[in-house]
Chains A and B, each alone.
Chain A
């Protein structure tokens, strides 16, 4: 009986203090981890889309709440003191799970400023070709809505990687919906 009590006591104490230490560490590192993740995962794609930004789109990001209650980070691009573009990250379903795409919009013309791939688990050498410039450079300047050629649009899908191409298009579509919804609010925020 005594040994059982001792076991219970020691294990509870150990697990309790482990949980306490970890939650403390998690809270203290949370904001730093978020900014690190944005810099190294979304950062390169965002900077690629907004090459001529005069601000830092990542540092100036704002979180907005959508009508369905979810929250989304919006990255602004400011030139000559005026908001010229915004970017959001959305996910489409690719061949190997979620496919993250940063989609940039020119806010004056309502056109795409460009897109960049952030995270994906596509088949190496097949689906991963959505990250190649040949595919990505079709997007800048396109007006909404954008569609693949076989759906009546003018974007060429990657042959052999239809699922991955559709995943990217799905993400672009979702980003466009967010953009349409938030546009008045965005213009208000960054005057």
Chain B
């Protein structure tokens, strides 16, 4: 059970797909014009990823290793076409919004990456946890990025106006360059946070054991 939770939560922060692993950036940059399309894309990936992980883990015993990539691609492509058909049947406006990026989920490297790195080597329940966690992390990231871009670029959030009247939207944020700007700033903020955390931990460690190497402080000075 511990293992299950661990696999489930690693995708939510420690290995957050777009911001930590920098995987699957094509849809991250392209469809996050609004929070709702980011959420829709995220849910489509969540669905495909969880099911493909589950199926691949189920059949991992019978797939010959020489043709495993072909098998993984067949399974994920089938699931993506299924998602496309279901989206057309039950969420047509979302399908119009996402357009070509729904079929492109097949080539999203998260899907094949998790299949090869995790699902092909682990039992079904862990593969499902991994898929759910990674998918949720992906959905969160896309919704977050989409929210920032929509709020700054259009003054709305999920289609509702949230900023004061007379707010002049930065229309660059909903264009392609806005995606790069936003992603870059988020990565910078996350790296800064991680860096500070590490240097604080080092300082604490140095303060706890100053006599460890004669109290010369040379190592912590280097680290700073």
**Residues of chain A whose beta carbon lies under 8 Å from any beta carbon of chain B:** 3, 6-7, 10-11, 14-15, 18, 21-22, 25-26, 29, 32-33, 36-37, 39-41
Contacts and interface: CB of A to CB of B under 8 A. Distances in A.
Contacts of B89: 29, 32-33, 36
A97 to B, nearest CB: 14
Contacts of A7: 64, 66-67
Given A3-B66, A21-B78, A29 B93 contact: no
A10 B67 contact: yes
Nearest to B77: A18
Q: Is the interface of B mostly helix, strand, loop or mixed?
A: helix
B64 A18 contact: no
Contacts of A40: 92-93, 96
A25 B78 CA distance: 11
A11 B78 contact: no
Contacts of B66: 3, 7
Contacts of A22: 78, 81-82, 85
Residue among B59, B86, B89, B96 facing the most chain A CB atoms (10 A cut-off): B89
Nearest to A15: B74
B146 to A, nearest CB: 21
Given A32-B90, A40-B96, 9 more contacts: A3-B66, A7-B64, A7-B66, A7-B67, A10-B67, A11-B67, A11-B74, A26-B85, A36-B88
B22 to A, nearest CB: 30
A125 to B, nearest CB: 13
Residue among A7, A39, A41 facing the most chain B CB atoms (10 A cut-off): A7
A119 B13 CA distance: 41
Interface string B58-73: 0100111011001100
Contact of B70 (A6, A11, A21, A37): A11
B75 interface: yes
Given A15-B74, A18-B75, A22-B81, A37 B64 contact: no
Given A37-B92, A39-B92, A18 B85 contact: no
Q: Which 3 A-B pairs have the closest CB atoms?
A: A18-B78, A36-B92, A29-B89
A43 to B, nearest CB: 10
A21 B82 contact: yes
B75 A14 contact: yes
